[in-house]
Structure 1
Amino acid sequence: MPTRSGSAKYEGFGRDGVGHVSTQSGVLDDRKYGFNTRFGDEPGTNPEELIAAAHAACFTMALSFALAREGFEDGRLEATARVTLDKQGEGFAITRSDLTLTATIADIDPDQFARIAADAKANCPVSKVLNAEITLDHTLNAG
């Protein structure tokens, strides 16, 4: 299995510092992050939104493969993850990731779908790496 990488550099310290993050694939290439992109509204990225995007992507891919194993061939999955950063003691911790899913799948039993989605939530690799509460709220539309 492949090993993927990302890198970051940070120049300056504290609120005045500015970081840049890159990914092996080049999708992110020297993208700005720092205090104001994390806690304010300055343009740029931050670790929590990157984790949220990774969680939403991992979950929908895991669910897609689980549905294919169950014999479903077509549909649409749209997920959002909302990652929460909370103050804990002198530092911070990611305490939860709330997944919201809208799925359009023809001819699936709602209970079967809920079971498959819950399993994908629990077992996608990003869910497994997060030491946080993970919730899932889903809407199933007829296909």
Structure 2
Amino acid sequence: MPIRTASARWSGNLTEGSGSIKTGKGGYEGNYSFKSRFEEGEGTNPEELIGAAHAGCFSMAFSKALADEGFTPTSVETTAKVHLDKTDAGFSVTRIDLETVGDVPNVDAGTFQKIAEAAKENCPISRLLSPGAEITLNATLS
């Protein structure tokens, strides 16, 4: 399997400095700052990028799990809400709320939920993050 890369550059001090983040193959490049991370400033932040990775990974894992059970999805759309909280140990990602909507012909709601939960447990990014953060799932069949 290939090794994936990303890089970041930071200039200046924590609160007044700025940085840029990019993926190795050039699919994404964006700016980030103290304000984009800890306030509501413009730019991205590491937590958004973790959310994007988790949403993308889960959507693919769920699509595969559905197809493996004989239900080829028309679409799976997932949003990941990453909670960065100040804890006794410092700032930590404490919870990620996955919200997914699947357009899946011929599947009943119970089967859809069961497959969604299994996909959450088996998604590689969920497995990476679950020891340190609670991961919730709200799966809706459209």
**What's the TM-score once normalised by structure 2's chain length?**
0.93
- The answer to whether the aligner puts 1:25 opposite 2:25 as a matched pair is yes
Q: Secondary structure at the match of 1:15?
A: coil
2: CA distance between counterparts of 1:74 and 1:117?
12
- Write the mapping of 1:4-83 to structure 2, written as runs, cut at 5 A: 4-29=4-29, 31-83=30-82
In structure 2, stretches of 5+ residues that fail to align are none
Alpha-carbon distance, 1:90 to partner:
5.4
Q: Deviation digits for residues 21-77 of structure 1, max 9, x if unmatched?
A: 111120223x21110111223221101111111111100000011111112234211
- Write the mapping of 1:53-132 to structure 2, written as runs, cut at 5 A: 53-89=52-88, 91-130=90-129, 131-132=132-133
Q: For 1:128, give the aligned amino acid.
A: R
In structure 1, stretches of 5+ residues that fail to align are none
Q: For 1:17, give the aligned amino acid.
A: G
2: CA distance between counterparts of 1:61 and 1:35?
32
Q: Deviation digits for residues 70-122 of structure 1, max 9, x if unmatched?
A: 12234211111100001012520000100111111111122111111001111
1: CA distance between counterparts of 2:72 and 2:43?
38
Aligned pair count reads 140
2: CA distance between counterparts of 1:10 and 1:27?
20
Q: Secondary structure at the match of 1:48?
A: helix
2: CA distance between counterparts of 1:14 and 1:118?
39
